[in-house]
Amino acid sequence: MSLRSFLYSTPIFLTVFLLQEAVVTQFRLPLGGFNLLLIVALIWAALSTPEIGALTGFGAGLAMDLSQSSSGPMGQWTLVMIIACYSVAFLGYGDDNIRANPINIVLLTTIGTVAARIVYLVLGILLGEEAGNLQSIFWSLAGTAFWTAIISPLLLKVISFIHANVFGLSSRI
């Protein structure tokens, strides 16, 4: 990842973070709504190499840790996002069956968000946080999956375009 790519990526994720904090959190959506930064980071990672995916996860996770809606200690989301974004990037990288197919990227992103939240939950329990009852956890995860499946196809084209421009790649979805 060149310095140029890093400089371009930072304001993009900063804007997404501000949109998440200032706009998305204002809506009282059913089933808990969605996290725009999480979805964008996972789509971005799915289009990138594993190293860039890990770095993306680190930056996005750091921002999510700074969010007022984050209840865990600083670094918890960072750790989860590094693992999640790296995993998504690792699964997609070099496999054209996944990367060239938007449905597969949406599926990968949806599974990635749910998995990230599950890992965050498990890590939180290990760190002594209250998790709530099973029913609420289930509905929250189901809501995450639902909203990610709705939102990510809408964002995919835009993120793919920006990603291609930032990294100077000619191939776009």
Partner 1 sequence: MRYGGDNRGRLLIIVLIVTSLFLITLDLRGVQVIDGLRTGTQTALTPVQKAGSWAISPLRNFLSDVTSLGRTRNKIEKLQAENDKLRLTLQNRKNADALLKQLNGVLDLAGTAGYKVVGAKVISHGSTTSYTQSITIDVGSNSGVRSNMTVLSGYGLVGVVKYVYPNSALVQLASDPAFRIGARIAGSQQIGILSGQGTRRGVLQLLDNRTQIRKGDVLLARGSQGGRPFVPGVPIGSVTDVDNSPGAVTQTADVKFYTNFSTLGVVAVVVSGEGTDPRDALVPPKPIPTPIPTVTVFVTPSPSPTN
Which residues of this protein are in contact with partner 1, per CB under 8 A?
Answer: 18, 21-23, 25-28, 30, 49-51, 54-55, 57-58, 61, 65-66, 68, 73-76, 78-79, 82-83, 86, 90, 93-95, 127
Q: How far apart are CA 79 and CA 82, in angstroms?
A: 5
Query: Does residue 101 come out as left (phi exceeding 0), alpha (psi in the -120 to 50 range) or beta?
Result: beta
| Distance of closest approach, residue 70 Cβ to partner 1, in angstroms | 9
Q: How far apart are CA 37 and CA 55, in angstroms?
A: 14
| Distance of closest approach, residue 30 Cβ to partner 1, in angstroms | 7
| Distance of closest approach, residue 134 Cβ to partner 1, in angstroms | 25
For the residues of 83-142, what is the DSSP string, one character each? HHHHHHHHHHTT-HHHHT-HHHHHHHHHHHHHHHHHHHHHHHHHTT-----HHHHHHHHH
| Distance of closest approach, residue 17 Cβ to partner 1, in angstroms | 9
**Which of residues 75 and 132 has its CB atom nearest to partner 1 in the complex?**
75
**Which of residues 44 and 86 has its CB atom nearest to partner 1 in the complex?**
86
**Which of residues 54 and 106 has its CB atom nearest to partner 1 in the complex?**
54
